């Protein structure tokens, strides 16, 4: 099976607490966007897991989330099979866009189809949560509200087909380091999650007013500030860092202003891409 697997942004992201096991609890509105990795997955004889990737800095061993996904799925279904996976990476790394989690979710999705295990969504989420906090969302896709560590999901009103520009500098943020910065915040500015929820329920016309991310204040990256400034000066209705960083997304009313902003960011040597919010994570090719 060959499939495209989408990136995500967080329309809003708040950290609400810390559990005894070290995980943090969140409130977030997740949204899939049309930037994709492409995954080619084949079931093979034996039990070897062979992984290849277009980016040399991505590990192609048991540290890779796609590799872990095969191992976990094999345990869950108690079947012995081998797997050969090739990943073409287009989702930026250390961007807060869930590239690794998306790949892991895509592998679970593909294996469930290829092996005809017919697992329910709930069963897939149970497996996915063991891989990473964002994996359950990618199994749902579209617009979703998440609580807990990200595994308590509820479908939210559709917010697809909106024009987005993604910008990212060379600064990256490790998720572990980002959460340490959150823990050290004295007077955190919490997003207005309830107001965003109400806006989405009423059609989402003013949802952009409530886009916010507590990590943006905690990480305080100069490149994020600069990208936001460029977006807001060039037609973005709002611009916010996504995830634990360091990509920024800006919402635009029309493609022309989005293209103009995208070109300005590229001239400043930033990664920049136009896409749309989309209603699902996976597309079989």
- Under DSSP, the state recorded for 44 is E
Burial class (CB in 10 A: 0-12, 13-18, 19+), 203: exposed
Q: What is the DSSP letter of 64?
A: S
- Number of C-beta neighbours around residue 74 at 10 A: 18
Torsion from C-alpha of 159, 240, 36, 207, nearest 10 degrees? 0
Residues annotated as catalytic are 8, 134
Rounded Cα distance between 108 and 123, Å, is: 11
Distance between CA atoms of 228 and 81, rounded to whole angstroms?
47
Q: Give one word for 262, left, alpha or beta, with left for phi > 0 and alpha for psi -120 to 50.
A: alpha
Count of CB atoms within 10 A of residue 252's CB? 23
Structure-block tokens of residue 145: 């509200």
Task: Report yes or no: 232 and 205 within 8 Å, Cβ to Cβ.
Answer: no
At 280, list the tokens: 């699902």
Extract the tokens encoding 82. 């081998």
Distance CA 19, CA 188 (A): 18
3-state SS string for 171-212:
CCCCHHHHHHHHHCCCCCCCCCHHHHHHHHHCCCCCHHHHCE
Q: In the structure encoding, which two tokens stand for residue 258, read together?
A: 């989005």
């Amino acid at each position: 099976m060959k499939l495209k697997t989408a990136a995500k942004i967080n329309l809003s992201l708040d950290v609400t607490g810390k559990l005894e096991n070290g995980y943090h609890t969140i409130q977030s509105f997740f949204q899939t966007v049309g930037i994709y990795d492409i995954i080619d997955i084949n079931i093979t004889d034996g039990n070897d897991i062979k992984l290849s990737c277009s980016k040399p800095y991505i590990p192609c061993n048991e540290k890779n989330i796609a590799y872990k996904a095969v191992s976990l799925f094999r345990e869950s279904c108690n079947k012995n099979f081998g797997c050969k996976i090739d990943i073409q990476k287009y989702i930026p790394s250390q961007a807060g866009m869930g590239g690794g989690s998306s790949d892991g979710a895509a592998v679970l999705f593909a294996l469930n189809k290829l092996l005809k295990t017919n697992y329910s969504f709930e069963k897939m989420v149970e497996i996915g949560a063991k891989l990473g906090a964002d994996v359950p969302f990618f199994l749902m896709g579209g617009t979703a509200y998440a609580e807990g560590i990200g595994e308590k999901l509820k479908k939210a009103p559709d917010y697809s087909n909106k024009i987005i520009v993604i910008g990212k500098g060379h600064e990256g943020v490790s998720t572990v380091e980002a959460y340490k910065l959150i823990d050290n915040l004295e007077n955190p500015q919490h997003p207005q999650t309830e107001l965003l929820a109400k806006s989405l329920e009423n059609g989402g016309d003013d949802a952009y007013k409530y886009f916010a991310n507590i990590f943006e204040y905690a990480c305080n990256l100069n490149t994020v500030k600069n990208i936001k400034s460029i977006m807001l000066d060039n037609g973005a209705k709002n611009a916010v860092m996504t995830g634990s960083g360091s990509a920024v997304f800006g919402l635009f009313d029309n493609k022309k202003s989005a293209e103009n902003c995208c070109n300005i960011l590229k001239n400043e040597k930033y990664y920049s891409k136009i896409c749309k919010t989309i209603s699902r994570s996976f597309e079989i090719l």
